[in-house]
Each structure stands twice: as C-alpha cells, then as structure tokens.
C-alpha cells in the first residue's frame, strides 16, 4: 500500500507576516522579538525556511501563546522560548536574522540600538513598524544601518512596510522625503502606491494641523514642501 506524504501543516500568515517571512534568509537562525502569538516563528520553522529559532517576548502571556503555536505545528524542539526585554535574552553569535515587528518605530529602534553587538554587518534585521516609520528610517541611516530592501504589504485594509536592514557603518542624513518614503519612493507595486497614499494623507493632516498655528512657520513650510512632493508622486 502506498502511503501519501502528509501535507505540511503551517500557521496561516496574513500579507504583513508573509512579507516579513519573505525577507528572512533561508537556512538561518532567526529570533522573533515580541513574538506574541508566535505564528511567524512557527511558520518559519515548520516550513523549513529557518534552521532554528528564538521566540522572545517581554510578557509571560504572549510567550505562553507562542508555546502553544510551536507545539501545535511540531517545532517546539527547534524554537527556544525566552522571556526577556528586547534582545537582552540573546547572546551575540547565536542568531543571524532578527525580526522586530508590530511595534512602534521608536520602540523598535530602542530595542535594536540598546545592544552593541547589533553593529555586525553579517546580521539582518527585519523591522515592521506600526507607527513613526520615518523616525525609524532616520535613526537607522543616521547611525550606520542601511536599508537593503523594503517590502510593502496590505493586510486588513492597512498598508505596511517591512524593512530589511544591516549595519554598514556608513552614516547618512536623509531628506524628509527619503525618511517618509524610504525605498518605496521608486516602487510601483500596488501595495507600495497604497503605502505612499497613506503617508500622503498623514502628512496632509500634519500640514493642516500646523497651518492653524503661526508659531511653527518653518516646520509648516517644510511639511508643505514634503506634501507637494508626495502628491506629485502619487499622481504618477
Ligand atoms: C502587537 S504585538 C506584535 C506581535 C507580532 N510581532 C506581530 O507583528 O504580529 C507586540 C508584542 O511585543 C511584545 N513586546 C513589547 N515590548 C517588548 C520588548 N521591549 N521586548 C520584547 N517584547 C516586547 C508584547 O508583549 C507583544 O506580545
């Protein structure tokens, strides 16, 4: 009797988590910081994309949820659970790719910049900010990290971007438009266009808020220029 191979059982990832997964290098040791439900790291391990993993979270409850996901998809032996703040539970040299997703841009930068061992060009960081993405891009560039790729994604009607970054030591000071649009400025995929439209709406709101106050003339003018650039990009 012929035995049919069992279909690979994998957690369902939405487009945002799939975009992150697509930027993780095959065969690496990967850490998911702020893992919560643990779906991403369970998918990466169960699909065979990564060699081994770490599921890290600052809170016990999410880590318990992640433990259930790892067990459900049969990868508890290849993914270690760590209760820790940011990268503090990891040792330099034991990971290759690090995911920090679903948090604000400032917190992502704080987590990434606190440990000095992150300044290693061999490491890759997959960052998916929910807010303040322009501040995250600026912090990265101004502190010697480069953005190698950006992957736009739309999930639940919201546009997101995922940044693949690495330390190069080369410092650069981005313009406003670079900080706000990153590598998506030149990207003509529908998800990138929708992301740029979201940024344009946010900047328009900022300009409207600033125009009410005469004190912020310089800031107003700089955001006005940024808005004009964004509007002309979105019309193309
Ligand atoms: C909104 S969830 C994001 C879950 C998942 N990464 C995603 O993108 O779907 C944020 C998670 O990060 C965890 N978290 C917040 N601050 C953290 C920190 N400093 N270190 C580790 N985990 C943290 C929270 O406990 C929570 O489980």
Residues 174-185: pLDDT tens digits?
999 999 999 999
Nearest residue (by CA) to ligand 1, atom 3, is 102
Q: For the residues 190-201, what does the mean pLDDT come to?
A: 96
Nearest residue (by CA) to ligand 1, atom 11, is 34
Closest ligand 1 atom to the C-alpha of 111? 19
Residues 96-155: pLDDT tens digits?
999 999 999 999 999 999 999 999 999 999 999 999 999 999 999 999 999 999 999 999
More confident residue, 14 or 6: 14
CA 134 to ligand 1 centroid distance, Å: 20
Spell out which residues line ligand 1, taking CB within 6 angstroms: 33-36, 56-59, 62, 85-86, 101-103, 111
Residues 43-77: pLDDT tens digits?
999 999 999 999 999 999 999 999 999 999 999 99
Q: Which of 78, 80, 87, 72 is nearest to 34 (CA)?
A: 87
Residue 81 — left, alpha, or beta (φ > 0 → left; ψ -120 to 50 → alpha)? beta
* Residue range 1-172, CATH number: 3.40.50.150
How far from the centroid of its chain's Cα atoms is residue 175's Cα? Answer: 21
Residues 19-40: pLDDT tens digits?
999 999 999 999 999 999 999 9
Mutate to test the pocket of ligand 1, among 57, 65, 83, 109 (most ligand atoms within 8 A of CB): 57
Q: Who's near 12: CB < 8 A, 6+ residues apart? A: 39
Instruction: State percent of the chain over pLDDT 70.
Output: 96
User: Which runs of consecutive H residues, i.e. helices, occur in the chain?
Assistant: 15-23, 39-46, 60-72, 105-114, 133-142, 176-181, 190-211, 217-235
CA 107 to ligand 1 centroid distance, Å: 10
More confident residue, 3 or 187: 187
């Amino acid at each position: 009797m012929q035995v049919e191979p069992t279909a690979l059982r994998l957690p369902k990832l939405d487009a945002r988590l799939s975009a992150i997964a697509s930027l993780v290098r095959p065969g690496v040791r990967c850490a998911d910081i702020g893992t919560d439900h643990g779906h991403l790291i369970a998918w990466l391990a169960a699909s065979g994309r990564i060699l081994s993993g770490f599921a890290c979270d600052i809170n016990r409850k999410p880590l318990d949820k992640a433990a259930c996901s790892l067990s459900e998809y049969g990868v508890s032996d290849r993914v270690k659970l760590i209760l820790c703040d940011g990268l503090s539970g990891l040792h330099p040299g034991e990971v290759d790719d690090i995911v920090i997703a679903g948090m604000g841009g400032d917190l992502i930068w704080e987590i990434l910049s606190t440990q000095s061992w992150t300044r290693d060009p061999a490491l890759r960081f997959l960052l998916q900010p929910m807010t303040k993405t322009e501040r995250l891009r600026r912090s990265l560039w101004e502190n010697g990290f480069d953005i190698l790729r950006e992957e736009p994604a739309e999930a639940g009607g919201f546009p997101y971007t995922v940044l693949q970054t690495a330390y190069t030591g080369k410092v650069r000071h981005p313009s406003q438009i670079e900080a706000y649009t990153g590598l998506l400025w030149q990207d003509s995929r529908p998800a990138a266009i929708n992301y740029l439209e979201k940024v344009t709406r946010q900047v328009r709101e900022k300009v409207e808020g600033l125009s009410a106050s005469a004190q912020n003339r310089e800031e107003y003018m700089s955001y006005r220029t940024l808005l004009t650039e964004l509007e002309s990009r979105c019309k193309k």
